[in-house]
Amino acid sequence: MNFKINFNPTKKHLSQIEIWLIDEKNKTGNGFYNNWNIISEAFSRNELVVLIEKDIDIAVGFLVFEINEVIIEIVIMELNSKYRNKGLARRLVEDTFSKFKKKGIIVCELFCSTEQSESFWKRLDFINLPNSLCGNLIRMYKTLIPTLKISEPNEVYERIELWYMDTCSAKEKTPNCTWNISFKEKSQELVIPIIHPAHYDWHFSWKSEAKTKYIGRVKKYNFEQLLFGRFMIIKSLTD
């Protein structure tokens, strides 16, 4: 069987998906037919990706997404039960990422509607968001580009520090994460960007040896350089 990803599905493909979602609901009581309004509205907004069996032009899987600046959120991803356990879900997700990376998307997040799905996403290298950002919900993320890894604290280096708490609570406490940073030549752009889960009220600092260039809440930093939602994304820094 040959398959392809279709980023511009037709109403025929949408109808095919509806048929097997109804069938799954009737047989098992499970599946995503209860979310049909979300799926059909995503189709109308061109936010539906479909996996097609090429020889017969049948939609066997789909992915609903939303874009927020440089972040893609997977809202729903499902395969027809007849096509599961064949590596097709991985292909659907990875081919979707390849497409959107070319458009500047750099991180993906999602909500696991069932605990059983968590293991699948972990196999695709997704990481759980901290409970402090999502409560008891299972939310996960994956960066789509190389990102700067967390470093051991060392005051010799120019560095970014992040505390998983607000400024008042962070006093006299060690940061949860430190990144030793370097810049491109004659530029304030980082050689490797930082992408990390963060709340906009968490405490954040930028230091160079003993000098502090910025210290305060994430949301107080220059918004043109630092984007946040559930993530702190730093591509460049400005004094």
Q: What percent of the chain has pLDDT over 70?
A: 97
pLDDT of residue 225: 62
Residue 45 CB contacts under 8 Å (≥ 6 apart), including other chains: none
pLDDT of residue 224: 64
What confidence tier does 12 reach under pLDDT thresholds 50, 70, 90? Answer: very high
Q: How large is the average pLDDT for residues 62-69?
A: 95
Q: What percent of the chain has pLDDT over 90?
A: 76
Write out 61-118 in H/E/C secondary structure.
Answer: EEEEEEEECCEEEEEEEEECHHHCCCCHHHHHHHHHHHHHHCCCCCEEEEECCCHHHH
Spans of all domains in the chain: 3-143, 158-236
pLDDT of residue 227: 73
pLDDT beyond 80 at 210: no
pLDDT beyond 90 at 121: yes
pTM: 0.89
pLDDT of residue 1: 66
pLDDT beyond 70 at 126: yes
Homologous superfamily, domain 3-143: Gcn5-related N-acetyltransferase (GNAT) (3.40.630.30)
The overall average pLDDT reported for the chain is 92
From residue 228, give the alpha-carbon distance in Å to each of 151, 198, 206, 234.
21, 7, 16, 9
pLDDT of residue 223: 62
CB 232 within 8 A of CB 226: yes
Residue 198 burial class via C-beta count within 10 angstroms: exposed 0-12, middle 13-18, buried 19 and up: buried
CB 24 within 8 A of CB 31: yes
Q: pLDDT tens-digit profile of 31-53?
A: 899 999 999 999 999 999 999 99
What confidence tier does 59 reach under pLDDT thresholds 50, 70, 90? Answer: very high
Query: Which sign does the torsion angle of CA 71, 233, 230, 130 carry?
Result: positive
Q: How large is the average pLDDT for residues 2-17?
A: 96
From residue 89, give the alpha-carbon distance in Å to each of 13, 71, 128, 218.
17, 20, 19, 36
End-to-end CA distance of the chain: 56
Q: pLDDT tens-digit profile of 127-184?
A: 999 887 887 888 999 999 999 999 988 888 899 999 999 999 998 899 999 999 999 9
CB 143 within 8 A of CB 105: no
